[in-house]
Structure 1
């Protein structure tokens, strides 16, 4: 018979120790009070969400482009203006404009979260700055 070395003995003990916590974890996962159900979207809901996302992006892009053209016509190079004040004015105006435009396009603004507003305003600012910069050149 072969002798057990201390190394092989410790591996067997570790295997036994590792098995016990797995059983405890599975027992706690099976607890019916802690089950979380994720609502699955139907294909129609997915299609509507996709369509709404495209509409939100197009509206934000158009508002940003319009804001860039207006800023160029009003301020030109904007050398006598504080640039971040112009940017904040554009963000404020387009935020309220979108709150008025989206309901007419059957998009519920009450379902918007902070990340949704951040997304559309980011698109507006991007298009505003790109349009204004292109017109300055």
Structure 2
């Protein structure tokens, strides 16, 4: 005969919850940020700001294309003293500061811009500048 143990046996405390109280298990985010669900008003405001950002960048690009045509003509390095890519870098630099100071007029906060936002608006400026310059050359 074996001697009875004086140790208390552990009691299994796992309870089964009914299905209506069940909640999904939390999933780890693995370093990804959780996004807040935006209200329809916030979506409308973000859409409005996106249109304004695009329109301002397009207008600045058109003006830059007209100035490039009037001041540089065809942009031949022997006539202007600059290569075409240097001219575009000047346009990018100047348009950055023009947008940085003109966006607050339209109630857009440039301090909240990330790299992707600035890349987007500068691409629009360069695109419209080259398009306008090309159309004026023809």
* TM value normalised by structure 1: 0.74
**Structure 2 matches for 1:39-54, cutoff 5 A?**
39-54=36-51
Unaligned 5+ runs, structure 1: 1-28
Aligned residues: 108
2:25 — aligned with what? 30
What is the CA–CA distance in structure 2 between the aligned matches of 1:113 and 1:41, rounded to whole Å?
19
Aligned-residue RMSD, C-alpha: 1.7
2:109 — aligned with what? 108
* TM value normalised by structure 2: 0.73
**Structure 2 matches for 1:1-137, cutoff 5 A?**
30-31=25-26, 34=28, 37-80=34-77, 81-137=82-138
1:24 — aligned with what? none
Poorly superposed stretches of 4+, deviation over 6 Å: none
Unaligned 5+ runs, structure 2: 1-23
- Look at both structures and tell me which one has the larger radius of gyration over its CA atoms: 2
Change in CA separation of 1:85 and 1:48 when aligned onto 2, cut-off 3 Å: same
What is the CA distance between 1:38 and its match in structure 2?
A: 2.9
